[in-house]
Amino acid sequence: MTTYTNFTVETDADGIALVTWDMPDKSMNVFTVEVMDELEAILAQTVADEAVKGVVFTSGKSSFSGGADLTMIRGMFSMLAEEKARDPASAAQKLFDVAGRMTWLFRKIETNGKPWVSAINGTCMGGAFELSLACHGRVASNSKSVKIALPEVKVGIFPGAGGTQRVSRLANAQDALQMMTTGSSLTPQRAKAMNLLHQVVEPAELVNAARQMIKDGLKPVAPWDEKGFKVPGGGVWTPAAAQLFPAAPAILRRESAGNYPGALAILKCVYEGLQLPFDTALKVEQRYFTQILQTTEAFSMIRSLFISMQELGKGARRPAGQPKTEFKKVGVVGAGFMGASIAYVTAAAGIPVILIDRDQEAADKGKAHSEKLVAEQIGKGRMTKEDGEKLLSLITPTVDYAALSDASFVVEAVFEDRNVKKAVIEAVEAVIPQTTIFASNTSTLPITGLAENSRRPDQFIGVHFFSPVEKMMLTEVILGKQSGDRAIAVALDFVAAIKKTPIVVNDTRGFYVNRCVFRYINEAYDMLIEGVPPAMIENAAKMAGMPVGPLSLNDEVAVDLSQKIMRASIADLGGASVKPQHMKLIDKMVDELDRRGRKNGKGFYDYPAKPAKKSLWPGLKELYPQKPAADVDVAVLKQRLLVTIALEAARTMEEGIVTDPREADVGSILGFGFAPYTGGTLSYIDGMGVKAFVALAEKLAATYGDHFKPTPLLKEMAEKGQTFYTRFDPYGEVGKAA
């Protein structure tokens, strides 16, 4: 047996070497430079050892591998920035060589002359699946934990270590393109049906089945290295391909509005690569990969959606020196839709929950929400009956506040009314121990004001969940003026326990996400009042990269909620805080027309009974004189929608509401889907350059109003040539690429 830092190699009596990947001090195996060096050494060792007849490659952890390590990705960008500064001419060549390291290591495995079989026992993503594809045999366990994917497109790049070439030579082109351009996960059964796996076996049989493939005489040659190999479906020059390839870019454009260079590169790699010998095709892929790595989109998406998201998820903002909280019991007060959903995700994390409401019937109704969600999960095969029963057994509905006496964390999720919340805070604090942290789930009420009702404001914090809680990945942790470090640490531990990504924000009306969301919706009101056809507003938003148009989004959050927020704003801040035309529009929608949004089946859209789809309410264009479509510049509509949100994000940084640019970026994408290809609100500004953004904002302000005026901070940053990631450097390493 040979032991490396990250691998062990054990050769049995049959001459089969079992290579087990098990990285110390990591919960999941990932590719690092050290891992690739060791893999190369193992390859050389097994090739040189005549006793070795073949290799079975597997993981010693419950998952197989998550792909590349974020430090390696960051290192690649740091290297590129340093090389560009030192020698711009050679920077791309250096990146090309680094980007090809994995490609040619995997090709070496594929052509080493001895059979390799990958035994996949859990999540197998990105580079790990590309390594498996370079093995001569692939076996996966039929466990529910096995998920196979090439998800790189979701972070702005694409499978650049042979993935585009091997998948398109094993599966038919349409399935291959679908898998890679969406980054979607495959079950082992689906992967086998696509010809990406040879066998799916019981977990206990996994390594034996892999060994058996070698004993049965598995050829150490990839199909494409055999004479006479034909691509599934006949390749590029067939009638079927003549239908697929011209349509593919159009379909991609419909889905992504041409905003994702990495997705388009997949089509190019497959179309060009299938016409070339395999090694040349790998070189084409390597060139495209190098090109994509240099795009603003790839840099911004990798930074926000891969690096920052992992850092925030692992507690980048957690105060140092605070012990980690193990949650033995959590209380949720308020069993309405939000409270019931919070109880569900808490129980799904294996934590017992006390769900309290004013009467037993209301508390039971809250638990029934979880029963419905569990039934849906079982129906879809995503949960076993036993797991469902276990989850539900963790939720105790009651009216008795005394049940909270040993809870380590209590979330209040009652109606958005200061007096109702005051009564709950007092009732909870009467029974909980001094060590329990109290969190208020509120979307609009400032936490500092609510904490005035608490006897222990340092133990009081805001935790803002987004609806539907079980699907939305983001949670805002809101600090009141007196919230202490322990309260922050416990709140972040809770968010991590329920597998959400937290952002920490200081107290303000609307916090971070809702402030940005209402800018987006308000810009749509302006457009409507100007006479821009409603369909153009919604389509421009989607073309700008937003998941839903602002009018559709307003229907989802409820038009009468907008009315409440606007009226509260006028009451607290005065009439100038809301545009009179906006108030008039929303009052008409709610009070005169009873169009409150999706919840009452009519808002900016009409919601007919299923299966009919929603459609824009025809009466909308009767409210204001309509401009001819030809007189509306779609490019300007797109700019207005993105710039107004980005300006609000910049204001929150200037006001010290958000203090870390990673949180502004990740929060905007996870919270309301801000155009992901930009990397988030602040990366959108940094990506075009603060100077260019200020000029664009000034141009928009001249035509569309003062709310587009760049802030003093932005003007100062433009003058100094700063970015948000240098000015508010989250890594404390200004001068290095982050």
Cα(409)–Cα(629) distance, integer angstroms: 54
Would you say the C-alpha torsion 653, 657, 660, 666 has a positive or negative sign? negative
Asked if 582 is an active-site residue, the reply is no
Per-position b or e across 163-193, b if 16+ CB within 10 A of its CB = bbbbbbbbbbbbbbbebbbebebbbbeebbe
Element of type H or E holding 21: strand 16-21
Query: Are 274 and 231 within 8 A, CB to CB?
Result: yes
In sequence order, what are the residues at sequence separation of 6 or more whose Cβ sits closer than 8 angstroms to the Cβ of residue 716? 722
* Three-class secondary structure of residue 665 per DSSP: helix
Backbone conformation region of residue 531, classed left if phi is above 0, alpha if psi is from -120 to 50, else beta? left
User: Residue 355: CB partners within 8 Å, gap ≥ 6?
Assistant: 332, 335, 339, 340, 343, 363, 366, 367, 395, 396, 397, 398
Residue 293, CA distances (Å) to 134, 153, 159, 179 in order: 23, 12, 12, 21
Contact (CB, 8 A) for 652 and 515: yes
Query: In whole angstroms, what separates CA 523 from the centre of its chain?
Result: 26
Longest dimension (CA), the chain: 86
Segment (H or E) for 412? strand 409-412
What 3-state class would DSSP assign to 182? helix
Tokens linked to 516: 């940005």
- C-alpha 155/C-alpha 39 separation (Å) is 26
- Report yes or no: 185 and 159 within 8 Å, Cβ to Cβ: no
Unique residue bearing structure tokens 């479509």: 629
CA dihedral for 630, 635, 637, 640, sign (positive or negative): negative
Q: What distance in Å separates the CA atoms of residue 377 and residue 201, rounded to the nearest whole number?
A: 24
Q: Tokens representing 448?
A: 């500092």
Angle at 79 between CA 78 and CA 84, to 5 degrees: 100
Residue 341 φ/ψ, nearest 5 degrees: -70, -40
Structure tokens at 622: 């009767």
Enumerate residues 6+ apart whose C-beta is below 8 A from 487.
437, 458, 459, 460, 461
Q: What share of the chain is helix, strand, coil (3-state, %, to 5)?
A: 55, 10, 35
Residue 395 and residue 340: Cα distance in Å, rounded?
A: 10
> Considering 136, 198, 464, 582, which one is annotated as catalytic?
464
CA 603 to chain centre: 29
Residue 597 burial by Cβ neighbours in a 10 Å radius (0-12, 13-18, 19+): buried
H-helix or E-strand spanning residue 475: strand 474-479
Hey, is 499 helix, strand or coil? coil
- Nearest Cα to Cα of residue 654 among 518, 523, 460, 515: 515
Burial group, residue 195, by CB count within 10 angstroms (0-12, 13-18, 19+): middle
b/e map 282-309, b = 16+ CB within 10 Å: bbbbbbbbbbbbebbbbbbbbbbbbbbb
What contacts 313, CB < 8 A, 6 or more positions away? 496, 501, 502
The residues annotated with a catalytic role in the active site are: 464
